[in-house]
Amino acid sequence: MSPADTLRFAGRAAFAYPLRTALMVLAMAIGVAAVVVLTALGDGARRYVVGEFASLGANLVIVLPGRNETGGVNAGSFITNTPRDLTLADASALLRAPLVSRLAPLSAGNSEIAVGGRLRETMVLGTTADYLAVRHLALAEGRFLPRESFGHAGAEAVIGGTLKRELFGNEAAVGRMIRVGDTRLRVVGVMAASGQGLGFNTDELVIVPVATAQAMFNTNTLFRIMVEVRGRDALVPAQRQMEDILRSRREGELDVTLITQDAVLGTFDRILGALTLAVAGIAAISLAVAGILVMNVMLVAVTQRTGEIGLLKALGATGGDIRRAFLVEAALLSLAGALAGYGLGQLGAWAIRLAYPVLPAWPPDWAVTASLGTALLTGLLFGVLPARRAARLDPVQALAKR
Amino acid sequence: MAPTAQAAQIAQIAQIELAGIDRSFTVGDSRVHALSALSLTIEAGEYVAIMGPSGSGKSTLLNLLGLLDRPDAGHYRLEGRDVTTLSADEQAAVRRSRIGFVFQSFHLVPRLSAAENIALPLTLAGIPPAEREQRVTRALRDFGLEERARHRPDELSGGQRQRVAIARATIMQPALLLADEPTGNLDRHTGDEVTQLLEALNAAGTTLIVVTHDPAMGSRARRQLMMEDGLLKSDSGQRTGLAGEPQTASRPAG
């Protein structure tokens, strides 16, 4: 039998039992769709997190208080276990490192913001003028915080686009007075829409001078210091300079953590990549189950069509002809299932993207290739046994059975 | 074979030569001899009826003749070629090109149309679609099935189904047509039509071997073989003046 005829014959056979074929295709489709959707979800999460950190910029070092890992024993370890706070004085000291180009100390907290009668809970971020440049943000109108000494608690604020819309509507916001907590501030600028970024949604943020924020929350600690270094190559030496400065300010103990975008990115990439792989593995189990189903369905088909197989043999079909016909039928079922599953999976991923626009839930190419390949391979693999059984049937007995 | 001797040899070669055929089956723990020490010669173009009670071995004989089964002992020469030693695939090739089967229960593929059923042997032989279509169209016309070409077997009457089956059996123009109770599932009138159809094919030169219970049908054949307990009880084979002589002794082997 020519390949085209074999294909047509197997196709006719598959369509002759529509319910059986539909159920089989569905089982295979669910397996493939599960892989596609779950890897889309996993990979979407990975891309989301990676995107978050990538938006920080490559020259950034983040300083946060506390240190989890022990870097050996030194004099400081015996004195105290509680980490010292990160202060504005630390920030000023870091600015003296030759490889640091600029930095922005951050102090954050939640507070109430009020304009006229309108009241809203919001996040307040205390920082300095350089924050704009360090985070590569842009203003929609007005200006950013003025350049002044860290300790100066100016009564000025820059608000996010969403806040502006909710509090002022279409009226101009720049120049208006707002109340944050108990502090009255003048709005000097509105941030351009930028969306999510490292946990803060700048669209819903009130940005005030760092000293103002510290006074507001009655603290002198910093949440974080964002440091921009002079170029990518300077990242490692700059980190060393900063560690030296901070260590000297902390009686020889380095109880702060310095992280770079690369390190964070690499870690998250690895963790979430492994997660995606694990999820894909679990989903692949359903593919194996579908493969066993293919085998069962094809074994039933051989029993059902024993008389037909006997006839084909009487008409001069070789064992190879019959084996190929059944194998192609199994392959067709798997292929249809795989394609349907791919469509279903893409639909599911699209639905996820629709429901969570921030999540770039696209199934990775490797997952699509692997699931389609696995579906076809299991279909063929589990189709071999039934096909061989069909080819080996004794024509006399096969013809007698009907 | 020397070219000079060839013509004489071909004239001597019988279409079918069975020599010392044994075939037994194990049923439970006893051996049943379906055929024992059977020797038989059938010439090209003969019309033979194999008759006998159930279990007499006539179906086994037909299966052996059709290369669907292998003997435990003995030799089967088809057109001078020993086919007992062929591999399964070689036997399939012989079936495909030389032998046509007609069954009692028609054995049509239910999901294929009449035309597609008739085309099956051509498909299996790898004949290109264009030629296939041409030959199937001619067969449909010859067997009066033009109106029914697109119908599936369950939309055909019994007689039409058997006509489709015969058209399929003869589409490859086999030298040998084997029919196992071809009228067994048909009423008398339709059965007669099918018998006449088979006889017309025989008249055109195809060797026809029919297994039947029906004495009326058996008596129409020019030669009757009576089987009993795996043995050839009687053979009315008196072609070319060999009357009364047992077939086994009628000519030297080979």
Give the tens place of pLDDT for each residue, B140-188: 999 999 999 999 999 999 999 999 999 999 999 999 999 999 988 889 8
Domain ends where: A211, A228, A245? A228
- How far is B174 from B207, CA to CA, in rounded Å? 9
What pLDDT is recorded for position A72?
A: 52
On whether the CB atoms of residues A170 and A119 are closer than 8 A, the answer is no
Q: What pLDDT band is residue B12 in, cutting at 50, 70 and 90?
A: low
Looking at the structure, do residues A292 and A210 belong to the same domain, yes or no? no
Looking at the structure, do residues A283 and A388 belong to the same domain, yes or no? yes
Please judge whether B124 and A399 are an interchain contact, meaning their C-beta atoms are less than 8 angstroms apart.
no
Please judge whether A315 and B120 are an interchain contact, meaning their C-beta atoms are less than 8 angstroms apart.
yes
CA of A16 vs chain B CAs: smallest distance (Å): 6
Q: Is A262 domain-assigned?
A: no
On whether the CB atoms of residues A134 and A59 are closer than 8 A, the answer is no
- Nearest Cα to Cα of residue A329 among A295, A292, A368: A295
CA of A7 vs chain B CAs: smallest distance (Å): 12
Place of tokens 């589409």: B171
ipTM for this model: 0.85
Q: Is A74 domain-assigned?
A: no
Looking at the structure, do residues A297 and A204 belong to the same domain, yes or no? no
Question: Which residues does chain A have within 8 Å of residue B124's beta carbon, measured at their own beta carbons?
Answer: 1, 312, 315-317, 321
Interface with chain B: mutation pick from A2, A313, A315, highest number of B CBs within 10 Å: A315
Q: Is A63 domain-assigned?
A: no
What pLDDT is recorded for position B241?
A: 39
Question: Which residues does chain B have within 8 Å of residue A312's beta carbon, measured at their own beta carbons?
Answer: 120, 124
Coil/strand/helix, residue B254 = coil
What pLDDT is recorded for position B251?
A: 43
In this structure, are strands A118-127 and A205-209 parallel, antiparallel, or unpaired? parallel
What pLDDT is recorded for position B1?
A: 46
What does R_g of chain A's alpha carbons equal in angstroms? Answer: 33
Looking at the structure, do residues A305 and A393 belong to the same domain, yes or no? yes
Domain ends where: A196, A228, A260? A228
- Nearest Cα to Cα of residue B118 among B176, B182, B167, B151: B167
Looking at the structure, do residues A31 and A128 belong to the same domain, yes or no? no
Looking at the structure, do residues A142 and A199 belong to the same domain, yes or no? yes
Please give the residue range of the domain that contains residue A386. 3-53+273-400
Q: CB atoms < 10 A from the CB of A399, how many?
A: 25
- How far is A204 from B127, CA to CA, in rounded Å? 75
Q: Does A314 touch chain B (CB under 8 A)?
A: yes
Q: Is A89 domain-assigned?
A: no
**Which parts of chain A sit beneath pLDDT 70?**
55-56, 68-82, 195-200, 401-402
Please judge whether A399 and B109 are an interchain contact, meaning their C-beta atoms are less than 8 angstroms apart.
no
Q: Does A399 touch chain B (CB under 8 A)?
A: yes
- Nearest Cα to Cα of residue A190 among A210, A166, A211, A213: A166
Q: Is A313 domain-assigned?
A: yes
Q: Is A259 domain-assigned?
A: no
What pLDDT is recorded for position B254?
A: 38
- How far is A281 from A345, CA to CA, in rounded Å? 16
On whether the CB atoms of residues A370 and A35 are closer than 8 A, the answer is yes
Coil/strand/helix, residue B197 = helix
Model confidence pLDDT, tens digit, residues B84-127: 989 989 999 999 999 999 999 899 999 999 999 999 999 999 99
Q: Between A1, A313, A396, which is nearest B126 by CB?
A: A1
- How far is A139 from B89, CA to CA, in rounded Å? 81
Please judge whether A2 and B107 are an interchain contact, meaning their C-beta atoms are less than 8 angstroms apart.
no
Model confidence pLDDT, tens digit, residues A194-215: 755 555 677 888 999 999 999 9
Number of domains comprising chain A:
2
The pTM of this model reads: 0.70
Question: Which residues does chain A have within 8 Å of residue B88's beta carbon, measured at their own beta carbons?
Answer: 318-319
Looking at the structure, do residues A118 and A37 belong to the same domain, yes or no? no
Looking at the structure, do residues A110 and A223 belong to the same domain, yes or no? yes
Query: Among A137-141, B77-81, B97-101, B239-243, which is the least confidently predicted range?
Result: B239-243
Please judge whether A316 and B68 are an interchain contact, meaning their C-beta atoms are less than 8 angstroms apart.
no
Q: What are phi and psi of A299, to 5 degrees?
A: -65, -40
Model confidence pLDDT, tens digit, residues B64-76: 999 999 999 999 9
What pLDDT is recorded for position B180?
A: 92
Q: Is A392 domain-assigned?
A: yes
Question: Which residues does chain A have within 8 Å of residue B66's beta carbon, measured at their own beta carbons?
Answer: 314
| 3-state SS track over chain A | CCHHHHHHHHHHHHHHCHHHHHHHHHHHHHHHHHHHHHHHHHHHHHHHHHHHHHCCCCCEEEEEECCCCCCCCCHHHHHCCCCCCCCHHHHHHHCCCCCEEEEEEEEEEEEEEEECCEEEEEEEEEECCCHHHHCCCCEEEECCCCCCCCCCCCCEEEECHHHHHHHHCCCCCCCCEEEECCEEEEEEEEECCCCEECCEEHHHEEEEEHHHHHHHCCCCCCCEEEEEECCHHHHHHHHHHHHHHHHHCCCCCCCEEEEEHHHHHHHHHHHHHHHHHHHHHHHHHHHHHHHHHHHHHHHHHHHHCHHHHHHHHHCCCCHHHHHHHHHHHHHHHHHHHHHHHHHHHHHHHHHHHHHCCCCCCCCCHHHHHHHHHHHHHHHHHHHHHHHHHHHHCCHHHHHHCC
Q: What pLDDT band is residue B253 in, cutting at 50, 70 and 90?
A: very low
Domain ends where: A228, A258, A285? A228
What is the b/e burial string over B58-91, where b = at least 16 CB atoms within 10 angstroms of the residue's CB? bbbbbbbbbbbbebeebbbbbbeeebbebeeeeb
pLDDT for B26 beyond 90? no
Q: Which tokens sit at A237?
A: 């030496």
Domains, chain B, with CATH or none: 45-70+86-236 (3.40.50.300)
Cβ contacts from A onto B, under 8 A: 70
Looking at the structure, do residues A305 and A395 belong to the same domain, yes or no? yes
CA of B196 vs chain A CAs: smallest distance (Å): 23
Residue B125 one-letter amino acid: A
What pLDDT is recorded for position B54?
A: 86
Looking at the structure, do residues A284 and A215 belong to the same domain, yes or no? no
Looking at the structure, do residues A14 and A123 belong to the same domain, yes or no? no
Please judge whether B101 and A310 are an interchain contact, meaning their C-beta atoms are less than 8 angstroms apart.
no
Q: Is A12 domain-assigned?
A: yes
On whether the CB atoms of residues B198 and B169 are closer than 8 A, the answer is no
Looking at the structure, do residues A224 and A122 belong to the same domain, yes or no? yes
